Amino acid sequence: MRKKIVAGNWKMNKNLQEGIELVKEIKALCDADKPNCGVIVCTPFIHLASVTPLVNQDIIGIGAENCADKESGAYTGEVSASMVASTGARYCILGHSERRAYYHETAEILKEKVQLALANNLIPIFCIGEVKEERLANQQNQVVKAQLEGSLFNLSAEDFGKIILAYEPVWAIGTGLTATPEQAEDIHAFIRSLVADKYGKQVADDCTILYGGSCKPSNAKELFAKPDVDGGLIGGASLKAADFKGIIDAWK
Ligand code: 13P
């Protein structure tokens, strides 16, 4: 059975003290009222070592938002997958549209990052999704197909089975324009069919596919009600413990 998950992506928000506070608040809410799904909090690198000791990661997993495409060496300012793992973090978001757009991360670079994350026992949360022009031209299916083929479909079935996918239509990120539950379901089902064609029905059935893009407590329940939507990757609404918990509670 595939896992239901609500994951937060803080992006470039919260200083160290604010981040520690937010993790403590999320933990307190989850201690008081046990989640019915997996919960993951992905933070900037600088928070990781301070927040992993604060939580039981079987309940609230901690992840990074990126890692380097190189193992180690003279890459000033980069943070390797092995460094992320050494903080105790278990997850790593890769392929977020903001990294693709602003930092020019190509399918080839992301393929390297995925392999390094897996080699260091980090679970990649791999993001795919089309921009507005592609949606208007009805090209969303071919875009996500190329993204999967370009960075993930080189993996063995065993390694692919470790990946969490996140469908994030770029036009829905931070815009308040959520995909309708029907739009999300259509493309999630298509993504699952691509996984089935490549790796077989069992791997596809077990693959967690999250939806991301202006997901909030008021719309999470109807999105998560769709059979191929296995939870959410949450940006803005993950920055307030009560909102994040409101989305977690959509699984109740
Ligand atoms: P918002 O929830 O702020 O739209 O961001 C979604 C996202 O990019 C999560 O990775």
Tens of each residue's pLDDT in the chain, 252 residues: 899 999 999 999 999 999 999 999 999 999 999 999 999 999 999 999 999 999 999 999 999 999 999 999 999 999 999 999 999 999 999 999 999 999 999 999 999 999 999 999 999 999 999 999 999 999 999 999 999 999 999 999 999 999 999 999 999 999 999 999 999 999 999 999 999 999 999 999 999 999 999 999 999 999 999 999 999 999 999 999 999 999 999 999
Place of tokens 């999630």: 188
Give the separation between CA 228 and CA 112, rounded to whole angstroms: 28
pTM: 0.98
Catalytic residue list contains 96: yes
* Phi, psi for 232 (deg, rounded to 5): -140, 155
Catalytic residue among 65, 105, 134, 168: 168
Catalytic residue list contains 168: yes
Question: How many other C-beta atoms can be found within 10 angstroms of the C-beta atom of residue 199?
Answer: 19
pLDDT of residue 1: 82
Torsion (CA) 82, 83, 88, 91 in degrees, nearest 10? -60
Rounded to the nearest whole angstrom, what is the distance from the C-alpha of residue 124 to the centroid of ligand 1? 17
215 CA closest ligand 1 atom index: 2
Contact call for residues 44 and 12 (beta carbons, < 8 A): yes
| CB proximity list for 227: less than 8 A, separation 6 or greater | 185, 189
Q: What is the DSSP string of 83-112?
A: HHHHTT--EEEE--HHHHHHS---HHHHHH
